[in-house]
Structure 1
Amino acid sequence: MRADAKRNYSHLLSVARGVVAEHGVDASMRDIARRADVGLATLLRHFPTREALFDALVRTNLDALTQRAGELEASTAPGEALLSWFREWVVFTQSYRGVVALMAAAHTNPDSALYASCAAVHSASARLLLRAQAEGTARNDMNGDDLFGLMSALGWLVDLPSFAPRADHLFHIVASAILTNRPGNGVKKATR
């Protein structure tokens, strides 16, 4: 890529980050182009679809999460590795309002620009889950798809303003449903 094309690309991403921070994934491509002081055709030449733009925006974060999963696999007890990684993923989802819905749709669609990044995150979470299951600290009746679904559900839920203040509490509830030896798993039955 030529130097001026790299500058344009970086400028478009920078402007897009700001617009997405304000409006979430429903940010208008036209608005991004206008704020970047370029024509819509220029924006679309760099990012032909909304998914391509979001892939460029979140790929670094998703690559870092995938790398972090590898680090946790090598250095942390399996249950704690899964829990730490899950928490980091939830924090990531809160940085781009609406990104969870895009990821949930893209992770099974090989034609999506987000597919490769989502597949890597899905694979990383599944590896961490399998490791925790082998240790006996995670439920054996779930698989990587179930975990990705729970992660997506929690990410979507805490994206809603009415649930955002309860994000930490909801995280602990979901974590206690995944890991077998967490406080709160031994819920007492009601007596009659």
Structure 2
Amino acid sequence: MMKKVLLQASAALFSLSLLMGASIATASAQEATGTIEVGKIFKKKLTISVPNPSVVSSKMQVRSLAPNISAERVFFIESTNTASIGGENIAPGQETTKYDEGGAQMEIYVIETGYGTNYPNITMAGQTISPKALEERDPYCIVNGNVALQCPAGTTVAGYIYIIDLSGFQSGRFTFLNRSQNNLNVTGETFLNIL
């Protein structure tokens, strides 16, 4: 009975959106890629890829809630020790750095799909990291299948890129946990073991 009610409600919402002139995009597992320029300590141009979420066309006038977090991932790290080789790209699913990070300065980059809060819980080597260590929280959009930090009018923010200053740390486990803006019970988290 409950399943039937949910199906009817879904069908009604779909019909309403079509009546309002919305075009419905099909879900796709394709990745969106792009080259972005980020960082404060180590200013970088990085190529990244993220899940390309299906979105409803901007023709639809009804505003919806910001999407919950659906993914978190460390995608880059650079430190004094790896600056000479341009830092280290972190592949999806990679749990440990390939190189010995550390030295006087270190930055780590996390990409979040969905809308998390401004205050993620961050730890390094078992220590809670101060919110002051969060150097940047940049919104990104998907424009024509490409990741862009400059979101043109009419595009929707797909998520955020966080740059965290870990200067002074040499090695240990980095963790990042955030809660969705509209539903604090929906969380996203990632980690990286830093050599």
Question: Could you say which TM-score interval applies, normalised by the shorter chain?
Answer: under 0.3
Which structure's residues are more often helix, by fraction?
Answer: 1
Does 1 or 2 have the higher relative contact order (CA < 8 Å, sep 6+)?
2
Which structure's residues are more often strand, by fraction?
Answer: 2
Q: Give the alignment's TM-score, normalised by structure 1.
A: 0.27
Q: Give the alignment's TM-score, normalised by structure 2.
A: 0.27
